[in-house]
Structure 1
Amino acid sequence: MAAPLTATAINCSLSSRGRKSSTDAMLAVLAEHFAAHDVSVADPIRIAAHSIKWGVKSDEGEGDDWPRIREQILAADILIFGTPIWMGQASSVAKLVMERMDAFLSETDDKGRMPSYSKVAVAAIVGNEDGAHNVASQIFQALNDVGWTIPAVAACYWVGEAMGSVDFKDLDHRPRKVNETAKMVAANAAHLARLLKEAPYPG
Structure 2
Amino acid sequence: MRALIINCTLKPTPQDSNTHALASVVADALRERGVEVDDVRAVDLDIKPGVESHMGPGDAWPEVREKVLASRILVIASPTWLGRPSSVAQRVLERLDAMIAETDDDGVPLAYNRVGGVVVTGNEDGAHHVVSEITGALGDIGYTVPGQAWTYWHLGPGPGPDYLEERRGHDWSHKTGRAMAANLVGVARALEATPLGAPPE
Q: 1:145 aligned to 2:120?
A: no
The alpha carbon displacement at 1:17 in A equals 2.3
The alpha carbon displacement at 1:30 in A equals 0.5
Q: 1:11 aligned to 2:33?
A: no
| CA RMSD, Structure 1 to Structure 2 (Å) | 1.5
Q: 1:177 aligned to 2:180?
A: no
Gaps of 5+ in 2: none
CA distance in 2, matches of 1:138, 1:112: 27
Counterpart for residue 75 of structure 2: 80
Q: 1:124 aligned to 2:124?
A: no
Counterpart for residue 29 of structure 1: 25
Counterpart for residue 151 of structure 2: 156
CA distance in 2, matches of 1:47, 1:105: 21
CA distance in 2, matches of 1:39, 1:171: 29
Counterpart for residue 160 of structure 2: 165
Given the two structures, how large is their TM-score scaled by the length of structure 1?
A: 0.92
Counterpart for residue 57 of structure 2: 62
Q: 1:192 aligns with which of 183, 187, 190?
A: 187
Gaps of 5+ in 1: none
CA distance in 2, matches of 1:110, 1:37: 30
Higher alpha-carbon deviation: 169-178 or 55-64: 169-178
Given the two structures, how large is their TM-score scaled by the length of structure 2?
A: 0.93
Give % identity. Answer: 38
CA distance in 1, matches of 2:140, 2:106: 17
3-state SS of paired residue (2:23) = helix
CA distance in 2, matches of 1:189, 1:101: 19
CA distance in 2, matches of 1:175, 1:66: 33
CA distance in 2, matches of 1:172, 1:160: 10
CA deviations on 1:147-173 (whole Å, 9 max, x unpaired) are: 111011011000124343311122346
Counterpart for residue 101 of structure 1: 96
CA deviations on 1:124-169 (whole Å, 9 max, x unpaired) are: 1000111111111110111110111101101100012434331112
CA distance in 1, matches of 2:123, 2:41: 20
The count of corresponding residues between Structure 1 and Structure 2 is 198
Is the contact between residue 30 and residue 182 of structure 2 (CA under 8 Å) also seen in structure 1? yes
Q: 1:90 aligns with which of 75, 85, 91?
A: 85
Counterpart for residue 108 of structure 2: 113
The alpha carbon displacement at 1:102 in A equals 1.3
